[in-house]
């Protein structure tokens, strides 16, 4: 991957997609990098398909367009697969990370990525979220899986920033449960 | 240089942070997307006791600017923020603020005007106010939005100026885009802006003055002539404040931001966030040997036409990119194109490059590097042949 890493997130309103993108950007900031995190705002409402974008670079980022050929695609909501072309424009050598119980091999076939130089990772983040949080808010496990899959930023800084960010809104047990979900996804993400 | 703290802020939060540090006497504002994030964040600062500001939640933007006018005439340091239809609703009082010479600073998060209803970025809102007598400054990213908010206070309150300032940034693109922002310490901002001592105040009952006077054909004309005179003092002040701010922060600001213009044969002129995207295209094409440069105007009103002509006079073709349409103007062009053309007619000594206009990004339509490259190919063709097929083109139009 080049110096500028471009990431596209697919999810639905209410899943914490924008927050996850911002936590990733803040982790990059702590490591002295430049970043952008911005959502693709439509009429926002709970459950509507949304896209969000993150850019990370070692040098200042000047471009202010949306991301059309991402290095990394993260699909936070599995019900979007088949509904939205989540693999659209992904770069050769890129990474796609999906929240799904399916195997990476199955998803590679399903997304038409067979034989293409794209790394496919899967993690059942919804199941992990249900187990730890009792609710299907898979953004924190997806962050954990992303760190393992891409090594973009350190796990420690993402954990600390997640604690800070969620700590401002949630009770301590809920923050702890999010961190447990993040760590479990970090361990369990599969590549194929 | 002063110590600075790196933060992850979107453009709206960056402006709210600057406002917290400025700690104005009065803020009167009404929320409107995508500016809401500024007023919401700032009102939280007020509620938390982090500022001494009297926050006036009003029933409309017309009332917001009216309250600002009253507070500024009383001698307060006054700020507000708006966007799009909110600015349109302020209209009457926007003109009054400028002609009463009240140094109000207003953050405008650029958004398209209705109809159709749209919440996304274009410049039709602030461009509509370009003849209102306000100083207008455009920002490329959250860092510039922060820096320009602080500098705007100094520019507005300068004794040679005493005019209100609109400080713009692009709605959503930078307004809701989180980026790396270097923030000064509170005391450094306070020292930079200093105390505001109004020359005249409604509340100075020992020296009563008339504000918002009645003037017919006897003196109205002279008031207007004085406004023009005050605006003519602005560029020098903007440059001085930009230099002083640069010494403090390492980020120097002028009237505009030229890039690779020294030997350029082709120039792109564009405001705000799209200038960043255009700069990436210029970097790429320079590596391919294309003699191309970029001029990003920062100060738009008053328009520094003479200086811009000086910078562009040796290029063969200028491609202006306008994020709004000056409806009914020649060929349906945009306002920036009109200003560039008028500047060459006035200051060009009878010489001018070919100047063409491209309307882009209306209602938030994304502008991609490939589209700007396509525009440059057309500009190269004009440079080679001298032939202009169309004066106004459209980038990204379906």
Counting every residue written for chain A, the total comes to: 192
- Same domain for B63 and B148, yes or no, is yes
Q: Is B290 exposed, middle or buried (0-12, 13-18, 19+ CB in 10 A)?
A: buried
- Same domain for B355 and B263, yes or no, is yes
Nearest chain A CA: its distance from B309 CA (Å):
26
Predicted confidence (pLDDT) at residue A31 exceeds the cutoff of 70 = yes
Answer for the pair A44, A37: CB distance below 8 angstroms, yes or no.
no
- Same domain for B65 and B28, yes or no, is yes
Residues pairing with B56 in the sheet: B28
CA distances from A15 to A26, A52, B174 (A): 19, 12, 23
Residues pairing with A56 in the sheet: A5, A35
Do the Cβ atoms of B366 and A66 come within 8 Å? yes
- Same domain for B355 and B329, yes or no, is yes
Instruction: Residue A178: give the domain boundaries.
Output: 5-191
| Residue B351 Rama label (left phi>0; alpha psi -120 to 50; beta) | beta
Predicted confidence (pLDDT) at residue A2 exceeds the cutoff of 70 = no
Do the Cβ atoms of A65 and B172 come within 8 Å? no
ipTM above 0.90, yes or no: yes
Answer for the pair B396, B366: CB distance below 8 angstroms, yes or no.
yes
- Same domain for B328 and B382, yes or no, is yes
Q: In the structure, what pLDDT confidence band is assigned to residue B53 with cuts at 50, 70 and 90?
A: very high
Answer for the pair B230, B162: CB distance below 8 angstroms, yes or no.
yes
Do the Cβ atoms of B170 and A25 come within 8 Å? no
Q: What is the reported pLDDT for A169? A: 87
Predicted confidence (pLDDT) at residue A72 exceeds the cutoff of 70 = yes
Interatomic CA distance for residues B67 and A85, integer angstroms: 50
Supply angle C-alpha A79, A55, A99, rounded to 5: 20
Q: What is the reported pLDDT for B200? A: 92
- Same domain for B303 and B229, yes or no, is no
Of B6, B141, B369, the CB nearest to A65: B369
Instruction: Residue B385: give the domain boundaries.
Output: 256-395
Interatomic CA distance for residues B133 and B177, integer angstroms: 30
Phi, psi of A86 (to 5 degrees): -70, -25
How large is the average pLDDT for residues B161-167? Answer: 98
How large is the average pLDDT for residues B367-384? Answer: 98
Q: Which of B221, B249, B277 is the last residue of a domain?
A: B249
Interatomic CA distance for residues A22 and A150, integer angstroms: 17
Q: What is the reported pLDDT for A16? A: 85
- Residue A26 near chain B (CB below 8 Å): yes
Q: What is the reported pLDDT for B72? A: 98
CATH number of the domain where residue B42 is located: 3.40.50.970
CATH number of the domain where residue B307 is located: 3.40.50.920
pLDDT for B247-269, tens place per residue? 999 999 999 999 999 999 999 99
Indicate the range of A14-23, A35-44, B33-42 predicted with least confidence.
A35-44
- Residue B250 near chain A (CB below 8 Å): no
CATH number of the domain where residue A174 is located: 3.40.920.10
Interatomic CA distance for residues B24 and B47, integer angstroms: 15
Q: In the structure, what pLDDT confidence band is assigned to residue A22 with cuts at 50, 70 and 90?
A: confident
Q: What is the reported pLDDT for A43? A: 61
The kind and range of the H/E element at B360 are strand B354-360
Residue with tokens 């929320």: B31
Answer for the pair B95, B132: CB distance below 8 angstroms, yes or no.
yes
Nearest chain B CA: its distance from A21 CA (Å):
10
Contacts of B273 in chain A (CB under 8 A): 64
Q: In the structure, what pLDDT confidence band is assigned to residue B369 with cuts at 50, 70 and 90?
A: very high
Do the Cβ atoms of A36 and B277 come within 8 Å? no
CA distances from B41 to A14, A66, B35, B45 (A): 21, 26, 10, 7
Of A37, A41, A63, the CB nearest to B178: A37
- Same domain for B57 and B89, yes or no, is yes
The kind and range of the H/E element at A27 are helix A17-30
How large is the average pLDDT for residues B90-101? Answer: 98
CB proximity list for B66: less than 8 A, separation 6 or greater: B58, B93
* DSSP strand pairing (B165-170 vs B105-110): parallel
* Chain B 266-305, residues with CB within 8 Å of chain A CB atoms: 273-274, 276-277, 279-280
| Residue B35: DSSP 8-state | T
Residue with tokens 């500009």: B379
Q: What is the reported pLDDT for B152? A: 99
Predicted confidence (pLDDT) at residue A44 exceeds the cutoff of 80 = no
- Same domain for B343 and B239, yes or no, is no
Q: In the structure, what pLDDT confidence band is assigned to residue A48 with cuts at 50, 70 and 90?
A: confident
- Residue B396 near chain A (CB below 8 Å): no
Q: What percent of chain A has pLDDT over 90?
A: 81
Mean pLDDT score of chain B = 97
* Chain B 122-141, residues with CB within 8 Å of chain A CB atoms: 140-141
How large is the average pLDDT for residues A47-58? Answer: 91
Domain total of chain B? 2
At residue B174, the 3 state secondary structure works out as coil
Q: How far apart are the first and last CA of chain B?
A: 48
B115: nearest Cα among B124, B107, B106 = B124
Q: Which of B193, B224, B249 is the last residue of a domain?
A: B249
Nearest CA in chain A to B33: A41
* DSSP strand pairing (A190-191 vs A119-123): antiparallel
Interatomic CA distance for residues A161 and A158, integer angstroms: 5
CA B267 to chain centre: 21
Query: Which tokens belong to B281?
Result: 């295209």
- Same domain for B14 and B30, yes or no, is yes
| Residue B324 Rama label (left phi>0; alpha psi -120 to 50; beta) | beta
Answer for the pair A10, A80: CB distance below 8 angstroms, yes or no.
yes
CA distances from B335 to A71, B153, B327 (A): 38, 26, 9
Q: In the structure, what pLDDT confidence band is assigned to residue A1 with cuts at 50, 70 and 90?
A: very low
Q: Which of B233, B249, B265 is the last residue of a domain?
A: B249
Q: What is the reported pLDDT for B74? A: 97
Domain total of chain A? 1
């Amino acid at each position: 991957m080049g110096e500028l890493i471009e990431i596209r997130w697919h999810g639905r309103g209410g899943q914490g997609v924008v927050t996850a993108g911002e936590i990733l950007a803040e982790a990059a900031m702590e490591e002295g990098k430049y970043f952008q995190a911005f959502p693709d705002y439509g009429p926002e409402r709970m459950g509507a398909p949304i896209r969000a974008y993150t850019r990370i670079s070692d040098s200042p980022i000047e471009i202010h367009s949306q991301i059309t050929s991402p290095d990394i695609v993260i699909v936070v909501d599995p019900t979007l697969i088949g509904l939205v072309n989540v693999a659209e424009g992904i770069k050769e050598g890129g990474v796609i990370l999906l929240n799904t119980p399916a195997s990476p091999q199955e998803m590679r076939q399903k997304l038409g990525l067979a034989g293409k130089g794209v790394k496919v990772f899967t993690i059942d983040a919804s199941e992990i979220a249900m187990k730890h949080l009792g609710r299907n808010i898979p953004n924190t496990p997806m962050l954990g899986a992303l760190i393992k899959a891409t090594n973009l930023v350190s796990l420690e800084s993402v954990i600390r920033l997640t604690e800070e960010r969620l700590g401002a809104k949630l009770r301590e047990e809920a923050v702890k449960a999010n961190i447990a979900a993040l760590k479990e996804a970090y361990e369990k993400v599969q590549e194929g | 240089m002063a110590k600075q703290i790196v933060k992850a802020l979107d453009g709206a939060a960056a402006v709210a942070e600057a406002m917290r540090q400025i700690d104005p006497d009065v803020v009167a504002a009404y929320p409107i997307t995508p500016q809401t994030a500024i007023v919401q964040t700032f009102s939280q600062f007020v509620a938390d006791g982090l500022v001494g500001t009297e926050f006036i939640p009003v029933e409309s933007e017309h009332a917001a600017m009216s309250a600002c006018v009253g507070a500024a005439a009383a001698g307060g340091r006054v700020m507000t923020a708006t966007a799009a239809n909110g600015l349109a609703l302020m209209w009457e009082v926007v003109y009054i603020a400028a002609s009463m010479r009240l140094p109000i600073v207003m953050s405008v998060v650029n958004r398209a005007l209705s109809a159709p209803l749209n919440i996304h970025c274009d410049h039709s809102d602030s461009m509509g106010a370009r003849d209102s007598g306000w100083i207008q400054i455009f920002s490329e990213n959250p860092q510039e939005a922060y820096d320009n908010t602080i500098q705007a206070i100094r520019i507005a309150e300068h004794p040679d100026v005493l005019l209100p300032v609109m400080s713009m940034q692009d709605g959503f693109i930078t307004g809701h885009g989180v980026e790396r922002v270097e923030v000064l310490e509170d005391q450094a901002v306070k020292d930079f802006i200093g105390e505001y001592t109004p020359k005249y105040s409604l509340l100075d009952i020992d020296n009563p003055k008339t504000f918002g006077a009645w003037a017919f054909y006897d003196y109205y004309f002279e008031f207007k002539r004085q406004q023009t005179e005050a605006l003519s003092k602005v560029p020098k002040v903007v440059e001085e404040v930009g230099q002083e701010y640069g010494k403090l922060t390492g980020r120097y600001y002028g009237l505009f931001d030229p890039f690779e213009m020294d030997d350029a044969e082709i120039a792109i002129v564009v405001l705000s966030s799209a200038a960043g995207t255009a700069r990436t295209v210029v970097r790429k094409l320079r590596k391919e040997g294309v003699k191309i440069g970029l001029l990003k105007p920062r100060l738009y009103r008053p328009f520094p036409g003479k200086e811009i002509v000086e910078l562009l006079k040796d290029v063969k073709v200028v491609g202006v990119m306008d994020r709004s349409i000056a409806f009914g103007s020649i060929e349906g062009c945009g306002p920036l194109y009109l200003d560039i053309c008028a500047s060459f007619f006035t200051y060009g000594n009878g010489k001018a490059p070919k100047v063409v206009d491209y309307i882009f990004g209306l209602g938030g339509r994304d502008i991609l590097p490939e589209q700007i490259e396509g525009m440059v190919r057309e500009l190269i063709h004009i440079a080679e042949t001298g032939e202009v097929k169309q004066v106004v083109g459209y980038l990204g139009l379906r």
